[in-house]
Amino acid sequence: MYDLVVVGAGPAGSRLARGFAAAGHDVVVFEQGDVGTPLACSGHVSTDIWEFVPDDARERLFQNEITGARFHTGGPGSAASHFYKNEAVSNVIDRVELDRTLAALAVDAGAELREGHTVVDLTEFRDHVVVTVRGPDGTRTHRTRLVAGCDGPNSRVRTAVGLPEPGELLHGVLGFDDEPDDEAFVDVHLTVPRFFAWRIPRGDAGVEYGLATTPGEDVNERFERFTRGYGVETDRRCSGLIPIGPPERVTTGRVFLVGDAAGHNKPFTGGGILYGMTAADCAVATVDPADPSTLDAYEERWRAELAAEIQLGHLVRAAYSFPEGLQRAGMALFEGEIGVHMDRPTTLFSREQLRALLSR
């Protein structure tokens, strides 16, 4: 009997596995593919990321430093409002390498990692959970005290135990141009229904173009038009889903969700790497596999940590759908130096933001 089965070795699953294994619990992580692949993420994160990896990982992961963003209400070449800090706002990192680094940390802490193993079903009993896993040697069942569904936006764990889905799943697409670019500004284009298109300079790794929008929109056709506007041909195209939540509940008697599976994402950017790992830390701090009632404390802790930010993030996102004139007026009002933290919209009301506004 395991103490904890973790389903999925993305950032949330590996961070969680590391924490529980370090606390002396018997942990196995089942990952359906190879850790880190296929890529479907920009790896654009706040500098808080460096608190989650060892110092020597920085050299492998770091691609570019970003100090600001140009917001356009039109497409490529249109006028933009500039928002910036006089220091790094965020970093662009190698997302595949991030996942590998985090998984290695989990293994070093004592977790067992099984790649090429897909969790196909699970059944909860009063005192344990049975997890069915398909691997290279066939299909096996495993008994565990708890299961953590860290299996991404289309979570099979979530469906198997009947937990609610996040309110919305956006469809994101990315493509790359190999021309090196170490500019310090990203471009954001509010030209896509209910979300945006972006251009991210990734240093020697080239430039990434992407967009996300509501399902039903022709994402690929919009992406083609967007990159044509920039006059580039991209390759290594990839796509993925972005959950916008969170759902009302992410725990059952012995199962809990973390990361994209739980809608631990910023509604105004879709970013979920840091929210997922923060929620994983909340679980490590509160959940005892020998006492499943502690899952209630996890539900409370992650909401205390993230719910206000997510709520405010919904309001920021609502502005993407304002009429263009209103968007322009709003941006003109706030344009310039900013004091906000990119993961914490509540800092819109911080002393730093006030100081930045008054210093203009």
Question: Which pairing describes strands 168-177 and 235-244: parallel, antiparallel, or unpaired?
Answer: antiparallel
Q: Under a CB-based contact definition with an 8 Å cutoff, are residues 276 and 52 in contact?
A: no
Instruction: For the CB of residue 325, give the shortest distance to ligand FAD in the complex, in Å.
Output: 29
313 near ligand FAD (CB under 6 A)? no
Q: Does 342 bind ligand FAD (CB under 6 A)?
A: no
Q: Is 346 in the site for ligand FAD (CB under 6 A)?
A: no
Q: Rg for the chain (alpha carbons), in Å? A: 21
| Contact residue for ligand FAD among 190, 197, 242, 282 (CB under 6 A) | 242
- Site track for ligand FAD across 39-58, x = CB under 6 A: -xxxxxx-------------
Pick 156 or 254: Cβ nearer ligand FAD = 156
Number of residues that bind ligand FAD (CB under 6 A): 38
Nearer to ligand FAD, 10 or 356 (CB): 10
Q: Is residue 219 within the footprint of ligand FAD (CB under 6 A)?
A: no
3-state secondary structure of 191: strand
Nearest distance from C-beta of residue 117 to ligand FAD, angstroms: 6
Going from the C-alpha of 354 to that of each of 82, 136, 357, the distances in angstroms are 17, 57, 5
Query: What's the min distance (Å) between Cβ of 323 and ligand FAD?
Result: 27
| Cβ count near 127 (within 10 Å) | 11
> Between residues 16 and 356, which has the closer beta carbon with respect to ligand FAD?
16
Contact call for residue 93 and ligand FAD (CB under 6 A) = no
Say how far apart CA 44 and CA 76 lie, in whole Å. 20
* Residue 287 tokens, joined: 């959940």
* Other beta carbons less than 10 A from residue 104's beta carbon: 16
201 contributes a contact to ligand FAD by CB under 6 A? no
In whole angstroms, give the CA distance from residue 30 to residue 119: 7
Task: Judge contact between 12 and 98, C-beta under 8 A.
Answer: no
Q: Which is nearer to ligand FAD, 172 or 206 (CB)?
A: 172
Residue closer to ligand FAD by CB (options 320, 322) is: 320
The first and second tokens of residue 155, run together, are 């979570």
Positions in 11-40 near ligand FAD (CB under 6 A) = 11-13, 30-33, 40
CB of 11 to ligand FAD, least distance (A): 5
Of 331, 125, 91, 67, give the one whose Cα is nearest residue 205.
91
Rounded CA separation 61/53 (Å): 10
Per DSSP, helices labelled H in 23-126 are 58-61, 95-108
**Using the rule CB under 6 A, is 10 a contact of ligand FAD?**
yes
**Which of 141, 131, 132, 136 lies closest to 4, judged by CA?**
131
Report CA dihedral (6, 8, 10, 13) to the nearest 10 degrees.
Answer: -10
- Which stretch, 9-17, 65-73, 159-167, 331-339, contacts ligand FAD (CB under 6 A)? 9-17
Q: How far is the CB of 223 from ligand FAD (least distance, A)?
A: 11
Q: What three-state secondary structure class fits 189?
A: strand
Interacting stretch for ligand FAD, rule CB under 6 A, among 6-14, 72-80, 186-194, 220-228? 6-14
Instruction: Give 95 or 254: the residue with its C-beta nearer to ligand FAD.
Output: 95
Instruction: Give the torsion through C-alpha atoms of 331, 224, 166, 122, to 10 deg.
Output: -150
Which range binds ligand FAD by CB under 6 A, 4-12, 61-69, 245-253, 323-331? 4-12
Binding mask 114-133 for ligand FAD (x = CB under 6 A): ----xx--------------
Return the residues of window 260-279 that contact ligand FAD according to CB under 6 A.
260, 265, 270-274, 276
How many other CB atoms are found less than 10 A from the CB of residue 39? Answer: 16
Rounded alpha-carbon distances, angstroms, from residue 174 to 38, 184, 225: 12, 20, 13
Q: Which residues of the chain form contacts with ligand FAD (CB under 6 A)?
A: 7-13, 30-33, 40-45, 118-119, 150-152, 156, 172, 174, 210, 212, 240, 242, 259-260, 265, 270-274, 276
